[in-house]
């Protein structure tokens, strides 16, 4: 077990320990928000057949030569085609087919005239314009050609993709797996919302924050429990949650106090511990390990520390699996227009708000204080400022590095 580890090394270590995940076949109807695990090529043409793009008459263009409002050409109507019909009758010279939008163009016809440019009765149509072959004619494959690449592996599926894949008749798609995560919030001080608060207690906010954040990064929360700081109870909860979970995220019980029992209980249960403590503030206390096939992230119960390590460690791990790389943190430069008057012996992640301007990124601290136990700053946080270990206070105007959070959070 490593005692104190750099963030980047921690991410790599966890990535190395991941089990292999299998891609999933899901119904197209449930695939929105998932990421394609393979290239999808068109199994057929779209449209599948030559069809009319409008309501009118399918004709042979040569039969309309010289036709105009003053000199209409009369053609015999030999069939009528609605969308959904299968064409049966070929069009010969001097003939036309009444045709509606989306209906298949009958053999022999090479163009369609819009009904507004005709007069017609049941038997005959007067054509009042000269057509070119191919005019108002949507050939099979005009939209999508059989065999063409429709959606690449790695595509995040949204409404347009579902529409296009449905047009190909595809009922199912192969997508990257959705990590299944359980959540255990620990602490004898925790009380559920909606009850009157007892002395010495606080409401359990971490469960709400972490469960929602997990969903926001495309994970599936399969179970969520609360436990007081007692070894037997923690062990029971862990034993219940670990089997069947790809990941377990816990909060609380990972520092140096007498009731910080997560590390001890996990060790007793035979977990392999990857590391305890990250070299960042807030969020130094993190226990990370594995029991059977389940990766366990034991985060601090302090909300700001919890969210910081979630975003910097847990999320990068999860999106490697589900492919939601657009949701990853982006490292950028920014100009700091605030003051931070502490020096940093340890690498520090400050909660902050960054705005893009014409002159580049401008960043200031989140409203509220930067203590790890504080929640309010998370409301006003779209990035972390990464202050290297050994830095003096940060003055206004300094260039800093930030990790920008995905927009989904704000």
- Which residues from 92-111 bind its own copies, rule CB under 8 A? 100-104
The CA–CA distances, whole Å, from 136 to 49, 60, 250 equal 14, 12, 63
**C-alpha to C-alpha distance for 359 and 175, rounded to whole angstroms:** 40
At closest approach, how far in Å is the CB of 212 from its own copies?
Answer: 4
Up-side HSE of residue 77: CA atoms within 13 Å toward CB?
17
Could you tell me which residues come within 8 angstroms of residue 369 by beta carbon, excluding any fewer than 6 positions away?
377
Q: Based on the shown chain and the rule CB under 8 A, indicate whether residue 205 belongs to the binding site for its own copies.
A: yes
Nearest CB to its own copies, comparing residues 136 and 291: 136
Judged by CB under 8 A, the chain residues 310 through 339 that form the site for its own copies are none
User: Strand ranges (DSSP E) for 28-133?
Assistant: 40-41, 56-59, 73-81, 95-99, 111-114, 118-120, 124-127
Which span sits near its own copies by CB under 8 A: 15-23, 141-149, 235-243, 315-323?
Answer: 141-149
At closest approach, how far in Å is the CB of 126 from its own copies?
Answer: 18
Distance of CA 220 to the CA centre of its chain: 12
Q: What is the DSSP string of 328-339?
A: S-EEEEEEE-S-
Q: Based on the shown chain and the rule CB under 8 A, indicate whether residue 86 belongs to the binding site for its own copies.
A: yes
Figure out which of the listed residues 215, 220, 330, 342 binds its own copies, where binding follows CB under 8 A.
Answer: 215
Q: Based on the shown chain and the rule CB under 8 A, indicate whether residue 307 belongs to the binding site for its own copies.
A: yes
Nearest CB to its own copies, comparing residues 93 and 257: 257
H or E, element range at 14: helix 7-17
Judged by CB under 8 A, the chain residues 161 through 180 that form the site for its own copies are 161-172
Figure out which of the listed residues 73, 151, 183, 266 binds its own copies, where binding follows CB under 8 A.
Answer: 151
Up-side HSE of residue 293: CA atoms within 13 Å toward CB?
10
Figure out which of the listed residues 37, 61, 175, 190 binds its own copies, where binding follows CB under 8 A.
Answer: 190
Nearest CB to its own copies, comparing residues 161 and 290: 161
Q: Based on the shown chain and the rule CB under 8 A, indicate whether residue 28 belongs to the binding site for its own copies.
A: yes
With H, G, I as helix, E, B as strand and everything else as coil, classify residue 241.
helix
Nearest CB to its own copies, comparing residues 17 and 80: 80
Nearest CB to its own copies, comparing residues 102 and 108: 102
Contact characters 336-355, its own copies, x per CB under 8 A: --------------------
Q: Based on the shown chain and the rule CB under 8 A, indicate whether residue 82 belongs to the binding site for its own copies.
A: yes
Figure out which of the listed residues 9, 15, 239, 379 binds its own copies, where binding follows CB under 8 A.
Answer: 379
**C-alpha to C-alpha distance for 214 and 218, rounded to whole angstroms:** 7
With H, G, I as helix, E, B as strand and everything else as coil, classify residue 185.
strand
Q: Based on the shown chain and the rule CB under 8 A, indicate whether residue 26 belongs to the binding site for its own copies.
A: no
What is the β-pairing status of strands 40-41 and 149-151? Answer: antiparallel
Nearest CB to its own copies, comparing residues 18 and 375: 375
**C-alpha to C-alpha distance for 350 and 373, rounded to whole angstroms:** 13
At closest approach, how far in Å is the CB of 19 from its own copies?
Answer: 27
**C-alpha to C-alpha distance for 202 and 332, rounded to whole angstroms:** 36
Angle, vertex CA 351, rays to CA 345 and CA 352, nearest 5: 120
Q: Based on the shown chain and the rule CB under 8 A, indicate whether residue 89 belongs to the binding site for its own copies.
A: no
Q: The tokens of 145 are what? A: 């050609």
Running DSSP on this structure, what letter comes out for residue 232?
A: H
**C-alpha to C-alpha distance for 236 and 228, rounded to whole angstroms:** 11
Figure out which of the listed residues 13, 78, 174, 374 binds its own copies, where binding follows CB under 8 A.
Answer: 374
**C-alpha to C-alpha distance for 271 and 127, rounded to whole angstroms:** 82
Q: Based on the shown chain and the rule CB under 8 A, indicate whether residue 199 belongs to the binding site for its own copies.
A: yes
At closest approach, how far in Å is the CB of 131 from its own copies?
Answer: 17
Q: Based on the shown chain and the rule CB under 8 A, indicate whether residue 209 belongs to the binding site for its own copies.
A: yes
At closest approach, how far in Å is the CB of 304 from its own copies?
Answer: 9
Figure out which of the listed residues 160, 232, 341, 397 binds its own copies, where binding follows CB under 8 A.
Answer: 160
Nearest CB to its own copies, comparing residues 19 and 215: 215
At closest approach, how far in Å is the CB of 143 from its own copies?
Answer: 5
**C-alpha to C-alpha distance for 102 and 136, rounded to whole angstroms:** 12
């Amino acid at each position: 077990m490593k005692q104190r580890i750099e963030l980047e090394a921690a991410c790599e270590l966890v990535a190395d320990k991941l089990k292999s995940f299998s891609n999933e076949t899901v119904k197209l109807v449930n695939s929105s928000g998932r990421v394609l695990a393979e290239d999808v090529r068109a199994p057929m043409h779209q449209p599948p057949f030559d069809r009319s793009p409008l309501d009118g008459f399918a004709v042979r263009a040569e039969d309309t030569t010289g036709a105009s409002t003053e000199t209409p050409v009369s053609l015999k109507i030999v069939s009528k085609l609605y969308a959904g019909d299968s064409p049966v009758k070929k069009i010969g010279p001097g003939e036309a087919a009444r045709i509606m939008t989306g209906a298949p163009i009958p053999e022999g016809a090479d163009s369609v005239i819009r009904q507004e440019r005709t007069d017609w009765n049941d038997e005959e149509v007067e054509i009042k314009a000269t057509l070119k072959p191919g005019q108002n004619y949507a050939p099979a494959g005009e939209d999508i050609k059989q065999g063409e690449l429709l959606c690449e592996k790695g595509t995040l599926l949204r409404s347009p993709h579902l529409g296009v894949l449905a047009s190909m008749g595809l009922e199912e798609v192969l997508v990257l797996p959705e990590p299944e995560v359980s959540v255990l919030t620990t602490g004898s001080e925790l009380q559920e919302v909606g009850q009157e608060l007892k002395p010495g207690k606080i409401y359990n906010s971490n469960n709400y924050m972490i469960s929602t954040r997990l969903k926001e990064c495309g994970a599936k929360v399969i179970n969520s429990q609360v436990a007081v700081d007692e070894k037997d109870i923690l062990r029971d909860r862990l034993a219940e949650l670990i089997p069947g979970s790809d990941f377990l995220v816990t909060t609380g019980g990972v520092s140096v106090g007498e009731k910080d029992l997560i590390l001890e209980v996990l060790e007793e249960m035979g977990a392999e511990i990857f590391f305890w403590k990250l070299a960042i503030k807030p969020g130094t206390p993190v226990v990370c390990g594995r029991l059977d096939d389940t990766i366990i992230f034991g985060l601090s119960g302090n909300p700001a520390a919890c969210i910081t390590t979630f975003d910097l460690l847990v999320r990068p791990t999860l999106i490697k699996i589900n492919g939601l790389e657009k949701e990853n943190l982006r490292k950028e430069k920014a100009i700091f227009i605030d003051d931070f008057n502490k020096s940093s012996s340890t690498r520090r992640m400050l909660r902050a708000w960054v705005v893009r301007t014409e002159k580049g990124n401008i960043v200031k601290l989140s409203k509220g204080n930067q203590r790890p136990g504080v929640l309010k700053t998370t409301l006003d946080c779209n990035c972390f400022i990464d202050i290297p270990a050994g830095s003096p206070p940060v003055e206004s105007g300094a260039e800093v590095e930030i990790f920008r959070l995905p927009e989904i959070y704000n």
